[in-house]
């Protein structure tokens, strides 16, 4: 059975955004669990893998903070976990993703690709563009508010 959004769509608000986030994250976390990796580990590992150059631990912590809004000590612990699992490797002052780390992300990507296609497929391009603009604005405003709260 295929389900679709009703013709009377809810207005986008914090609740609908949160429900969409957690539904999509639930799918990803199900796949990540098969590989014994957490969402936070995946986010930090992806930052290392997709970087143009090897990153310092502090740079990866900063990126992780920006993405996850997590405590720096938690992200540092995540780096330690990734190093212990040999998904990252210390190279002087920098951390490099290992072949195992790259392979893990590739496997997760391959496993989530068909699900992602089913989730996002059929949504008109103009709707995706409008949603993207709204989500970028919400992200910007929320980051501004968080910065003011933590200043």
Identify whether residues 105 and 133 lie together within a single domain. no
Q: Is 110 helix (H, G, I), strand (E, B) or coil?
A: helix
Rounded to an integer, the average pLDDT of 114-142 is 95
The Cβ of residue 75 has, within 10 Å, a number of other Cβ atoms equal to 23
Rounded to an integer, the average pLDDT of 85-97 is 96
pLDDT digits (tens, 9 = 90+) for 63-76: 999 999 999 999 99
Identify whether residues 110 and 140 lie together within a single domain. no
Q: pLDDT-based confidence at 1, cuts 50/70/90?
A: very low
Residue 139 structural domain: 123-151
Q: What is the percent of the chain where pLDDT is above 70?
A: 95
Identify whether residues 109 and 149 lie together within a single domain. no
Q: Say what the pLDDT of residue 7 is.
A: 64
Q: What is the CATH number of the domain that holds 67?
A: 1.10.10.10
């Amino acid at each position: 059975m295929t389900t679709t959004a009703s013709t009377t769509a809810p207005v986008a608000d914090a609740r609908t955004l949160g429900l969409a986030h957690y539904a999509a994250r639930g799918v990803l976390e199900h796949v990540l669990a098969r590989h014994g990796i957490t969402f936070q580990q995946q986010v930090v590992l992806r930052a290392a893998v997709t970087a143009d150059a090897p990153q310092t631990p502090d740079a990866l912590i900063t990126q992780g903070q920006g993405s996850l809004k997590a405590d720096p000590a938690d992200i540092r612990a995540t780096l330690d976990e990734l190093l212990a699992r040999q998904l990252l490797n210390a190279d002087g002052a920098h951390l490099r993703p290992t072949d195992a780390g790259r392979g893990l992300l590739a496997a997760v990507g391959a496993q989530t690709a068909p699900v992602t296609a089913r989730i996002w497929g059929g949504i008109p391009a103009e709707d995706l563009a409008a949603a993207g603009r709204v989500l970028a604005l919400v992200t910007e405003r929320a980051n501004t508010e968080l910065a003011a709260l933590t200043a």
